[in-house]
Structures are given as structure tokens and as C-alpha cells.
């Protein structure tokens, strides 16, 4: 049996945010949204703070994409 564990505080999931951007927002719009979200969430989230970003598809698909890096131990 192999068990992997990452202890997370309860504030981590409450800081999740989704936004539908229009194509003309481009990469600049994505970067601005990410930075605004991190700045707003920073004082309220519990460590460890792991940022996951998913772009594209449905809201559900973007959430899945944002979590893929955490499963691969890129942190």
C-alpha cells in the first residue's frame, strides 16, 4: 500500500476562483486575473499555498487541469 499525503488547511479550497474570459483578453487577461486572485486570497489562505491554474474547456475541465500538477509532485 502506498499513501501520499499533503496536509492542507481549510482555507485552501475557499480561495478557488473561476472566471470566463473573452478571447480578446488574451494572455494579458489571464495573467491579470491570476495576480488579482492571488493578491485577494493571500492573507486568507492557509499554508502550504500551492497555486494551480487551469485554462480552457468547461469550468469543470479547468478545475481538473489546475489540479494535475499537484498530483505529479511538481512542488
Quote the CA–CA distance of 38 and 50 in Å, as a whole number. Answer: 11
Q: pTM above 0.95?
A: no
Quote the CA–CA distance of 51 and 20 in Å, as a whole number. Answer: 18
pLDDT in tens, 14-52: 778 889 999 999 999 999 999 998 888 877 777 767 788
Distance between the two ends of the chain, CA-based, in angstroms? 23
15-37: burial string, b at 16+ Cβ within 10 Å, e else: beeeeeeeeeeeeeeeeebeeeb
Amino acid at each position: 500500500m502506498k499513501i501520499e499525503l499533503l496536509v492542507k488547511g481549510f482555507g485552501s479550497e475557499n480561495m478557488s476562483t473561476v472566471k470566463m474570459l473573452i478571447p480578446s483578453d488574451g494572455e494579458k487577461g489571464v495573467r491579470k486575473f491570476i495576480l488579482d486572485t492571488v493578491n485577494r486570497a493571500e492573507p486568507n489562505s492557509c499554508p502550504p499555498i500551492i497555486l494551480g491554474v487551469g485554462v480552457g474547456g468547461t469550468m469543470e475541465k479547468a478545475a481538473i487541469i489546475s489540479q494535475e500538477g499537484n498530483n505529479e509532485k511538481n512542488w
